[in-house]
Amino acid sequence: MKKLIAALLLFIPLIFFAQDTVINGIAVKFHYDVTIFPSSWQTAPINAKGEEIGPSEIQRTKKIMVAALRKYPGQTLQRNLNGGVYWLKSMKFFDVGYGGTNSSDALYLTDNGEILGYTDSYMEQTFHHEFSSILMRNFPALLDTVAWKNANAKGFDYNDPENGVGAIRNNQSSQELDTAICRKGMLTQYGMSSLENDANTFAQNLFCPAKNFWFIADRYPMIHKKAILLVEFYHRLNTVFTEDYFRKLATKN
């Protein structure tokens, strides 16, 4: 019996590795050990930590990835996301819990069950949010950041020198669309923390829009300006991305 139990314990990790898959040319992975993170994240001050995703969430997460990845040309994905996508139950950096983050060529996303707020739309938006950071780093000249800043309310300045870490730590990272904030040119509270996070929140709503995203974009000129600037960024990446392309995605969600 002891030998049987020992054999089963050895087999358990293989079950999780067997769940790893490839979708639209991108490796999607569900196993965890700290080495999935870049080595520079594994030590102080970042001290990356993660927790393996629950087995019952893996199939739902795969369906979300199919929906998200099919919205991009394969070439765009494979040139910029060749490190793959890792799904975890939870993760921490700087002793702060993260819903998602990115390295130079990989994404790290979390799913702790729909009942705790990890809905399909939330998780897909997180994918687009984080992937947009990789794309903006890889193609910095394609986004007109001067025009972006000019679309903000006069006198506004992004308020988090830690580029979002402080906003998360201080519970100022809501991703809910907020019309009061829209008057300042931002979609969400989290978008106020940095230009990158601001653009990320627009990206997640271009690819997986909240129900009222385009209504808000058409109502608030500063929001509309930023939405078009980001459409232009993606169009320069690949001509398939047009305003019409993104507006049609809203009818499919």
DSSP code of 84?
E
Q: Tell me how long the chain is.
A: 253
Comparing CA positions, the residue from 196, 70, 203, 120 lying closest to residue 213 is 203
Q: What pLDDT, on the 0 to 100 scale, is given for residue 1?
A: 54
pLDDT at 75: 95
**Residue the block writes with tokens 């309310």:** 153
pLDDT of residue 5: 46
Output the pLDDT for position 70.
Answer: 97
> What's the count of helices (H) and strands (E) in the chain, helices before strands?
11, 7
Confidence at residue 132, expressed as pLDDT on a 0 to 100 scale:
98
For the chain, the structural domain boundaries read 17-138, 139-253
What does the block give as tokens for 160?
């988090």
The model carries a pTM of 0.88
> Which residues of the chain have a pLDDT value below 50?
4-16, 163-164, 166-173
**What's the confidence (pLDDT) of residue 171?**
43
CB 106 within 8 A of CB 177: no
Model pLDDT, residue 168: 46
3-state secondary structure of 102: strand
DSSP 11: H
Place of tokens 């494979």: 78
Question: Using one digit for the tens of pLDDT, what is the confidence trace for 179-214?
Answer: 888 988 999 988 888 999 999 999 999 999 998 999
Whether the ω angle into residue 38 lies within 30 degrees of 0, i.e. cis, is: no
Q: What pLDDT is stored for residue 54 in this prediction?
A: 94
pLDDT score of 174: 58
Q: Identify the pLDDT of residue 162.
A: 56
